[in-house]
Structure 1
């Protein structure tokens, strides 16, 4: 039973961790902007460099979450996204120079 619980917690943490980075680096820009619009963020664009952290801050800069579940998850994700964003920094620097910011609202 303890092994199943540990595996389940591991899978949940892997799913949650780096969510901002996964949304902005590994997916198309449209998917990231769709997610931010769905959360009704007030951000107009986010930079590609450290985009996972920026994505998470945009989630915090959105209409209030009535359930209150989003804030602790996003705060935990900021640290993990920061680490993952550092790993992919050379790639995101290139993408920032080549394509500019990810535009959420025009």
Structure 2
């Protein structure tokens, strides 16, 4: 595979499946959680450290995509998210300490 093909494949992965790292690090928490709820994932929350990989695994941990198109893109995105998550580690470690896990489903507090 040439470098151009690899870059093209990565760009397609980000554009179509939504790069997990971009979704969880650059978007606000509500948007990232809403994206995972639309996928009907069974995940309740994801850690901020390596959140792109966690996001991709949560997408895979959802009811099957009837088109069969999503899984190959998410598998391709796993490599890209792993690399970007490593670059974002200083920021995500800080956010994990300050904000904790990114919650996907909230339970109202009983008062």
TM-score class, shorter-chain normalisation, is: 0.7 to 0.9
Report 1:84-99 matches (<5 A). Answer: 84-99=84-99
- Cα distance in 2 for residues equivalent to 1:98 and 1:58: 23
> C-alpha deviations, 1:40-83, integer Å up to 9, x for none?
00000000000000000000000111000010000000011000
- For residue 83 of structure 1, what is the aligned residue in structure 2? 83
Runs of 4 or more above 6 Å deviation:
none
- For residue 55 of structure 1, what is the aligned residue in structure 2? 55
- For residue 109 of structure 2, what is the aligned residue in structure 1? none
- Cα distance in 1 for residues equivalent to 2:100 and 2:41: 20
Report 1:1-106 matches (<5 A). Answer: 10=8, 13-17=10-14, 19-106=19-106
- For residue 3 of structure 1, what is the aligned residue in structure 2? none
TM-score (norm 1): 0.86
Secondary structure of residue in 2 paired with 1:41 = coil
- Cα distance in 1 for residues equivalent to 2:10 and 2:53: 17
- Cα distance in 1 for residues equivalent to 2:12 and 2:93: 25
The count of aligned residue pairs is 99
- Cα distance in 2 for residues equivalent to 1:82 and 1:66: 26
Contiguous gaps of at least 5 residues in structure 1: 1-5
